[in-house]
Structure formats: C-alpha cells, structure tokens
A and B are shown apart, each in its own frame.
Chain A
Amino acid sequence: MSVLTVLPDNVSVRAKPGETILAVLSASGYGYRIGCRRGGCGICKVDLREGEVYYDHPVAESVLSQEEIAAGAVLSCRAVPVGDVTIELRDERLKLNSALLRSIRAVKAPTTKE
C-alpha cells in the first residue's frame, strides 16, 4: 500500500496496487475535473511533483505528448502510481464527494489553509 498526495490541498490517501490516480481519488471520496475516464479527452491532466507513474493502456500522443510527459504532465485517469506519488492539480482544488469514503482511505487530514 502506497500513498498518493494531492497538492495544493495536501491531501494524502492510500493507493492500492494497480489503481489509477482517478480510481484512488474516487475510492477516497474525492472528485476533481475529469472527462471520459478513458484517456481520450485529456481534461484530467495533472502535474507529477514526486514519484513515478506507469500507464496500463496505450495513450495517444495527441492526448499526452512526449514533451508534456517530460515536463511532468500525467494523464490521471490512466496513470498508475509506482510507490508513493505526489501530484498537483491544475487550477483547481479537490472536491469532497463522500466523507464516508474519505474516512476509509485517508492517511492525513487536509491541512487547513488560512
């Protein structure tokens, strides 16, 4: 079991092996900007701040280019964390959809920001 941390909220949740970033956050009760969930629309891109990810499906170059990958972009609906990973959302904050699910997966309460 590894840990996925999401900035700027600084929320950490537990990630099971093989789960995509989207799957981890959904199972943890969190929502954010997503689209097709299948790697086609590219709207769920986030930035990798620490750690590594791999892709369990082919990803179209038109959706996520080599240049973007080199710059740290991650297609979160298809990217699977390898060990502990920190990502940063692009111009948005996590939305809590289910406190119940969060209570099951959270490893750290979000830091309150004043």
Chain B
Amino acid sequence: MGILRLGYLHVRVTDMAEARKHYIETMGLKVTAEEAGKVYLKGWDEWDHHSVVLEEGGVGLAKLGFKVQSEDDLNTYENNARTFGATVERMSKGEELEVGQGIRVTTPSGHVVELYNEITYLGNEVGYLNPYPFPRHETGISVPALDHMLIMAEDVALNEKFFMDTFGMYAVEQIRPEIDSPARIATWLSAGQKNHDIAIVSGKDKGLHHFAFQLEDWSKILRAADIFAMDDVSIDITPTRHGITRGTTIYFFDPAGNRNETYAGGYRAYRDRPTTIWTPEHIGRGIFSHSRELNAAFTEVYT
C-alpha cells in the first residue's frame, strides 16, 4: 500500500542541553529513549516510538525515515531505487533504535532516506478508548505530531522524479521557471492525502530547509508564537499563510539554527488532483501569502 508518512528524522544540534529545552519544554515533545549523544522524542498524538531524534554535534539533517505499510513495500521500493540507479542497502533490525528491518536509500541530492514497516508501538497520550481531545497537562506548544519536511537539492527536477518514480509520490504544487518548463525551482510531493510529505527547493545538496510539526488551527499558531516570544525562540517568519498549500505557519529556528515550522490547515490532497503551478513573478505570494515578498532567508538560510 506504500508510504504511510514521514516517520522520523535525525537532526544534529550543537548543544544538547539547549536542544532538549527547545524540543521538550517549548515544543512539548516527550523523551522516549536516550543513548550517548542521542535523544529520541515523540509528539503526544504519535503512537510510534519516535519521530524526532536529536544528535549532538554539528547542525543539519542526518537522515529521515518513511514508514511503509508492509514488507512487500520495502521490496518494491528497493527494486524501484535500484532501477532508478540510486544507492540502496538493506538495514537490519535494530540499526535504528526500536525499528525493524528496512532499506536505506541515498537520493540524488545525497539525503539518506530509510524505509521501514515496523517500529515499537507506544501509543498516544489520550488513548484509543473513549479519548478526550488532548492531554490534560500540556507542555509548551504541545505539538501533536511531526508533519512534513523540506529539503534542498541542486537539481530539483531530478529529485522530484526520484521521489515520484521510486516512492510513488505525486506532485501537488510546483514552482517552475516558466509555465511549460520541465525544470523545477521547488516541488511539493505527497504520498497520501497530506498536501506534502516532503518538499524540495533549489539549494545545496544534503541541505535541510525545515521540518514541520502539526498544530490544530490558526489559534494554536498564534499561541505558539506567543510562547516562542516567552522562550526567546528565534522567529524567522511570524504567523502567516502560505499561498502554496494554503497552510498557516510560523517559521522559526531551534537553538542550533535548524529551521522548524508549525503548520496548520491547508487542503487535503488526492492522487488525481491537478498539480498547481507557480511562476517566478508570483513566488513571493506563493511562499508568504500576505507580505508577498520572498525574503532572502527562504532560499539562502538553511542548515
């Protein structure tokens, strides 16, 4: 049945104590495991063992993982990756803590993507029998779950093709240099009904633009920005809307300078949805719907 969602990502942080404070106290993630130099975290509405793993030392993305539905999917994606000509290897059970066997693929952009179908189940914090809508005692902005991420690639069109051909994703929105151009400035790709599970923007290979956490709605976005001010979080873009995906957002940075996002709303996507196309003269409104100005930070600032 294919890719279920962006399951986890490992992000490097220069100072673990500050990173813990940010991701645990401000974002509201919970620690599920610790190893030397690594902290495993999950949101309150996630049932799998972890979604965000902090790795001490450096900045930027170490790797990411997509959870797939079955072992057959692993075989399919392994074959697809080989056919595409990508580097692919088998991952044995436990190589990723609490995760079963899987495959590890390197994208043309050099990003390491792991696929797996088994991970230790912990359950969410409200349970699944007659639950209340959220946990009674929340911490910080209390993000329920990881949502999506945006990576940088020197050849966006090639990497878009890779994610479509190898992982069966479809393009929901694109920025093209010209309406009919086969080239891509950016692309938003979905594996299911999210309007994007992963997006790719033109930049240096291996780069991490941001990873995003779900929030319920616009009022939670406002509250999050208030809490960021209290916690001296470096805010990149104050609450606004993206023209692309129509989601409401805040861009901000963790204490190591990795960009995070809180994301709410936006439309539901379907595989038969016509791809929305943006042209360069409207990129500003596409990215930031109100200011309608593409700031230098969007394309030049990342880890």
Partners in one complex: yes
Residues of A within 8 A of B (CB): 33, 35-41, 43, 57-63
Q: How many angstroms from the CA of A38 to the CA of B19 in the assembled complex?
A: 11
Q: Within the complex, what minimum Cβ distance (angstroms) separates A71 from chain B?
A: 21
Point out the residues of chain A lying under 8 angstroms from B258, CB to CB. Answer: 36, 40
- Once A43-B300, A57-B15, A59-B14 are accepted as A-B contacts, the answer to whether A37 and B58 lie under 8 Å apart by CB is no
Q: How many angstroms from the CA of A61 to the CA of B303 in the assembled complex?
A: 12
30 A-B pairs, CB-CB below 8 angstroms? A35-B257, A36-B234, A36-B236, A36-B258, A36-B259, A36-B301, A36-B303, A37-B253, A37-B257, A38-B234, A38-B253, A38-B256, A38-B257, A39-B59, A39-B256, A40-B59, A40-B253, A40-B254, A40-B256, A40-B303, A41-B300, A41-B302, A57-B15, A58-B14, A60-B14, A60-B57, A60-B58, A60-B256, A62-B59, A62-B60
B15 near A40 with CB under 8 A, answer no
Q: How many angstroms from the CA of A37 to the CA of B258 in the assembled complex?
A: 10
In the complex, whether B296 has a CB less than 8 A from a CB of chain A is yes
Chain B residue with Cβ nearest A58:
B14
Per a CB cutoff under 8 Å, which of B59, B234, B296, B302 touches A37?
B234
Say whether chain A's binding surface is mostly helix, strand, loop, or mixed: loop
Bin chain B's interface residue count: 20 to 34
B301 near A60 with CB under 8 A, answer no
State the 6 A-B residue pairs at the shortest beta-carbon distance, nearest first: A40-B257, A35-B301, A36-B257, A38-B257, A36-B253, A37-B234
Point out the residues of chain B lying under 8 angstroms from A35, CB to CB. Answer: 257, 297, 300-301
Chain B residue with Cβ nearest A40:
B257
